[in-house]
């Protein structure tokens, strides 16, 4: 039986990938952020998951506003990365896991989540920006397979926070009903507080970010009950994408241990990365 071994929450700021590609790991402005990802890379190296399921959003690179799905699951045998206008990042493509992805699709539709299914659509920085910091990669590929699950956090109406939390719970049921022996890690991306347009452009709220990171561990139901307007008011317009962290949290157990938390605010977006494992009953 497949099992979820843990969850990761991470920002997906495009400049993370840019700084990585330009070798800024020891640059004083970027070193704290890179240091924050080192325990995540080590945890993944130690736990050796077979598959990573990643909740991410596409920034109008593969899905466009004339047809932007609420939830879309990638079932390709391999996934390429998008050219977002400045050339493709120097990253190899990553293997998919079609058998697991198709099983997830079948089970989640049966669980009344109407997914869009996609193949051969490149993944943008919503996925590849944190991925490049978390996992080793070379011309031979990556050490895990990837099942990407896109969430609409761009074009209203958005799925509610509670819908995303329930999506994660449905994902757990689907994974645990898969017969092959697989270790799966679930990743939720986005945020934290930021706004990139309008009168509040450049807005951040570290106090709310810290409260959010506490609540995602201890009271995710409170976050699930919040409205989009609450997320926007507290964290800025683009911070609503943190509902994808709730999808990841929903895929974990009722009680979790936070193994790692890093928070760094040096640009217009508060960048964070965390690791969670289910509490084991004594």
Range with the poorest average pLDDT among 148-152, 162-166, 277-281? 277-281
Q: Is the pLDDT of residue 281 over 90?
A: no
240-264 mean pLDDT: 97
Q: Name the more confident of 45 and 58.
A: 45
* CATH class of the region 8-278: alpha beta
* Residues in Cβ contact with 114 at an 8 Å cutoff, skipping those fewer than 6 apart: 71
- Identify the active-site residue in 125, 137, 140, 260: 125
15-19 mean pLDDT: 85
Q: Is the pLDDT of residue 282 over 50?
A: no
For tokens 């079609």, name the residue: 98
250-273 mean pLDDT: 93
Residue extents of the structural domains in the chain: 8-278
Q: Is 125 a catalytic residue?
A: yes
Q: Is the pLDDT of residue 84 over 80?
A: no
- Identify the active-site residue in 79, 137, 194, 197: 194
214-227 mean pLDDT: 97
Q: Is the pLDDT of residue 93 over 60?
A: yes
Task: Report the C-alpha gap between 282 and 227 in whole angstroms.
Answer: 36
Q: Name the more confident of 198 and 249.
A: 249
| pTM value surpassing 0.85 | yes
Backbone angles phi, psi at 205, to 5 degrees: -145, 90
Q: Is the pLDDT of residue 30 over 70?
A: yes
Q: Where are the alpha helices (DSSP H) in 75-219?
A: 98-110, 125-134, 161-176, 206-218
Q: Is the pLDDT of residue 18 over 50?
A: yes
């Amino acid at each position: 039986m497949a099992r979820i071994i843990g969850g990761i929450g991470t920002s997906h700021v495009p400049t993370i990938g840019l700084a990585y590609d330009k070798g800024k790991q020891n640059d004083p402005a970027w070193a704290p952020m890179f240091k924050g990802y080192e325990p995540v890379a080590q945890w993944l190296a130690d736990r050796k998951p077979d598959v990573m399921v990643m909740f991410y959003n596409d920034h109008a690179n593969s899905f466009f506003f004339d047809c932007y799905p609420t939830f879309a699951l990638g079932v390709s045998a391999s996934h390429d990365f998008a050219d977002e206008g400045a050339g493709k990042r120097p990253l190899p493509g990553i293997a998919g896991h079609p058998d697991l992805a198709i099983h997830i699709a079948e089970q989640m539709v049966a669980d009344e989540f109407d997914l869009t299914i996609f193949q051969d659509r490149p993944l943008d920085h919503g996925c590849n920006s944190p991925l490049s910091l978390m996992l080793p990669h070379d011309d031979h590929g990556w050490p895990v397979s990837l099942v990407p699950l896109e969430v609409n956090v761009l074009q209203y109406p958005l799925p509610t926070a509670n819908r995303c939390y329930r999506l994660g719970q449905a994902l757990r049921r689907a994974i645990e009903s898969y017969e092959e022996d697989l270790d799966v890690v679930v990743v939720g991306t986005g945020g934290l507080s930021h706004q990139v347009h309008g009168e509040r452009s450049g807005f951040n709220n570290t106090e709310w970010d810290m409260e959010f990171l506490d609540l995602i561990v201890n009271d995710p139901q409170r976050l699930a009950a919040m409205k989009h307007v609450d997320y926007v008011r507290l964290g800025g317009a683009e911070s609503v994408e943190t509902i994808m962290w709730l999808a990841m949290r929903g895929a974990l157990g009722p009680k979790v241990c936070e193994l790692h938390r890093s928070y760094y605010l040096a640009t217009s977006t508060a960048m964070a990365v965390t690791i969670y494992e289910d509490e084991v009953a004594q």
